[in-house]
Amino acid sequence: VTLIEITEADIQSMGRWPVTDQDLADIIGRIDHFGPRVIGIDIYRDVDVPPGSETLAATFSGNDHLIGVLKFKSERSPGVAAPSALADADRVGFSDLVLDPDGVVRRGLAFLDDGEQFAWSFALKIAQSYLAEDGIALTPDSETPEHFRLGPTLIPPMPERFGAYAEIDNAGYQFLADHRRQPDELPTYPLGALLAGNVDARHLQDRAVILGVNAESVKDSFVTPLSRWSWNGDPQVAGAAVHGLLVDQLLRAGKGERAVMTAPGPILDTFLLVFACLAGGICGLLAGSAARLTLIVLSGAITITVGGLALFVAAFWLPVLPMAVGWTASAGLVTAYLVQRVRRERRDLQRLLNVQVS
């Protein structure tokens, strides 16, 4: 995946925003010259911006590897329509992203369906178009037809309770974004570099190229789990880069390089938590001393954390924090109970001795 970003400097150089239809057609032509497999245009184009409207419409109609965007209509938003030339050819996807309560993008969307309208996501549409040349298709799962496979990889929808999510709004067809790469790991060029010819052809040829905006005056930015801890202090990631990360994830899944994140169901989740609590209690019962108890509790917590991280890297999400808290709390409570019992037995013995011995 390669990103072409219209930056603030590019907008200042053009002297206008939005970019005209003629300029957008020229930009698409410049990208197409390098022979990418698919070009995703992460710029809304529901109305004409003359001059050059007919040229842009012809560009949209004459290229079957262009994917446009729309904003899905909902109760909170009237939506934004896709370019008619792309919509008629079914080469559009919605750009809507799912935000967690803290405003971070941790989930991707594959489909949205409100009963009246159905749409593919922008990322899935790009990935499907790219993989089609490799003979990799999106198909329903043989055992669960309402779930889909991308090549050999099953991508099931997220339930309301998933991993550390106790309850989520799982409307649409959601999957967990793995964020295996940072946005700056995707080859990225400003529009000015493309127009000046200062791009590496290898980063465009046979690639999925996403054209988007990354400018202060055009707000299209999000926060990802990794960007929150960025060294430059700016947690914001351009929307085109977020879509690029999701496309990258779907391409890896379609090629069988990476499984989609899964998590234990409610029954296994509860069993693991109960097991951690019982194990912590038994260790607290057998510890025998404060030093030994501290060593056991720390060793167990580290084991749970490291094991959970290893499984997370292998695409399985364990409830690490509840298990670690259950382990530690159970060991501590059992130890506290034993200490209190010993003290009570000593008091009873002392009271008995005081009665019997002067």
Q: Are strands 66-70 and 236-238 parallel, antiparallel or unpaired?
A: unpaired
Q: Could you tell me where the DSSP H helices lie in the chain?
A: 8-14, 21-32, 53-62, 84-88, 122-132, 191-195, 239-254, 266-286, 290-313, 320-356
Phi, psi of 13 (to 5 degrees): -65, -40
Structure confidence by residue, pLDDT tens digits, 263-312 = 888 889 889 999 999 999 898 888 777 788 888 889 999 999 999 999 98
Structure confidence by residue, pLDDT tens digits, 153-201 = 999 999 988 888 888 888 899 999 988 888 889 999 999 999 999 999 9
Residue 224: CB partners within 8 Å, gap ≥ 6?
A: 104, 105, 106, 177, 179, 183, 237, 242, 245
How sure is the predictor about 231, in pLDDT bands with cuts at 50, 70 and 90?
A: low
Average pLDDT over residues 95-105: 93
Phi, psi of 327 (to 5 degrees): -60, -50
SS3 212: strand
List own/partner pairs for 332-337 with CB under 8 A and 24 or more apart. Answer: 332/284, 332/297, 333/281, 333/284, 334/280, 334/281, 334/282, 334/284, 334/285, 335/284, 335/287, 335/290, 335/293
DSSP 184: G
In the block, tokens 């194990």 appear at 279
The two three-digit tokens of residue 280, written as one number:
């912590």
- On whether the CB atoms of residues 3 and 208 are closer than 8 A, the answer is no
Q: Sheet containing 188-190: which strands, arranged edge to edge? A: 92-94, 66-70, 38-41, 208-214, 2-7, 188-190
- On whether the CB atoms of residues 94 and 70 are closer than 8 A, the answer is yes
CA angle 209, 214, 218 (to 5 degrees): 125
Instruction: Give the pLDDT of residue 346.
Output: 87
- On whether the CB atoms of residues 34 and 198 are closer than 8 A, the answer is no
- On whether the CB atoms of residues 253 and 155 are closer than 8 A, the answer is yes
Task: Say yes or no to pLDDT of 342 above 70.
Answer: yes
What percentage of the chain reaches a pLDDT higher than 90? 68
Cα end-to-end distance, the chain, whole Å: 89
SS3 149: strand
Instruction: Give the pLDDT of residue 233.
Output: 62
User: What is the rounded CA–CA span in Å between residue 323 and residue 320?
Assistant: 5
How sure is the predictor about 340, in pLDDT bands with cuts at 50, 70 and 90?
A: confident
Task: Say yes or no to pLDDT of 203 above 90.
Answer: yes
| Mean of per-residue pLDDT scores for the chain | 91
Task: Say yes or no to pLDDT of 358 above 70.
Answer: no
Structure confidence by residue, pLDDT tens digits, 123-155 = 999 999 999 999 999 999 999 999 999 999 999
Of the listed ranges 33-37, 243-247, 289-293, 295-299, the least confidently predicted one is 289-293
CA angle 103, 265, 138 (to 5 degrees): 70
Average pLDDT over residues 24-52: 96
The pTM assigned to this predicted structure is 0.88
Bridge partners of 91, per DSSP, are none
Structure confidence by residue, pLDDT tens digits, 61-97 = 999 999 999 999 888 889 999 999 999 999 999 999 9
Q: Are strands 208-214 and 173-176 parallel, antiparallel or unpaired?
A: unpaired
User: What is the rounded CA–CA span in Å between residue 158 and residue 253?
Assistant: 16
- What is the longest distance spanned by two Cα atoms in the chain? 111
Task: Say yes or no to pLDDT of 250 above 90.
Answer: yes
